[in-house]
Amino acid sequence: MKKYTTSIIIVVILLLSSCSSTQSLQEYYVDNQENPNFISLDVPASILNLEETNLTDVQKEAIGSLKKLNILAFKKSQENVAEFKVEQANVKKILKNDKFVELMKLNSSYGKGVIKYLGDEDAIDEVIVYGSSDEKGFMLIRVLGDNMNPAHLVQLMNALQKSDYKGEGLGELGDFLKG
């Protein structure tokens, strides 16, 4: 009986020690969907209305590799400054995980950001865009797709510019971006 109890204790310790203590990005999204400080949207790639635009074959391939966008935005106000700092630190901690590969850093008059991805260099499954402004808050966008590559991201940006997409269908998020 003592051997049996000892064996169970060892198994439990091994299981607990093998669990990751770092929250995943997916868990972060799920945990904050209902938080009133966040705006959460799951958007199909078709909302971008890029099918009607004159696209090159490479741009069509880039659009075809997209599935959907998961958007989570924290709108900063005078009442939630402390929570903003905590949530911003949580996101930065998650994004420091070695499984995310940095593609580029962003710095503009709107704020700072970073683009990272998960997957192989030539077969990206998920792109993460994180942008933060000390005045407005921060936004996380998960671009989900199949076998995307960095060149596709550039082509996607070109296609979006060509389409004159103004954020139709994004509801509250458009208001967040305006101020």
**CA atoms of 149 and 141, how far apart (whole Å):** 17
Mean pLDDT to the nearest integer, 90-108 = 90
DSSP state of 47: G
The pLDDT value recorded for residue 18 is: 47
Structural domains in the chain?
22-178 (3.40.1000)
Nearest C-alpha neighbor of 62 from the set 145, 152, 146: 152
- What confidence tens digit (pLDDT) does each residue in 42-89 have? 888 777 666 656 777 877 777 778 888 899 999 999 999 999 999 999
Range among 14-18, 20-24, 64-68, 150-154 rated most confident: 64-68
Query: Is the Cα dihedral 41, 42, 47, 50 positive or negative?
Result: positive
CB atoms within 10 A of CB 148: 25
Give residue 53's identity as a one-letter amino acid code: T
Instruction: Show Cβ contacts of residue 12 under 8 Å, excluding neighbours closer than 6 positions.
Output: none
The answer to which of 77-81, 133-137, 138-142, 162-166 has the lowest mean pLDDT is 162-166
Mean pLDDT, rounded, for 154-165: 64
Q: Which amino acid is at 113?
A: G
Name the packing angle between helices 150-163 and 57-64 (round to 10°): 110
- C-alpha span between 91 and 105 (Å, rounded): 15
- Residue ranges of alpha helices (H) inside the chain are 2-18, 25-32, 57-64, 81-95, 150-163, 172-178
Q: Which tokens belong to 115?
A: 């683009």
What's the token pair of residue 68?
Answer: 């959907």
What integer pLDDT is reported at residue 17 of this predicted model?
A: 47
Overall size of the chain counted in residues: 179
**Mean pLDDT value of segment 34-47:** 87
Mean pLDDT, rounded, for 99-105: 89
Rounded Cα gap, residues 98 and 101, in angstroms: 7
For range 145-159, the mean pLDDT: 72
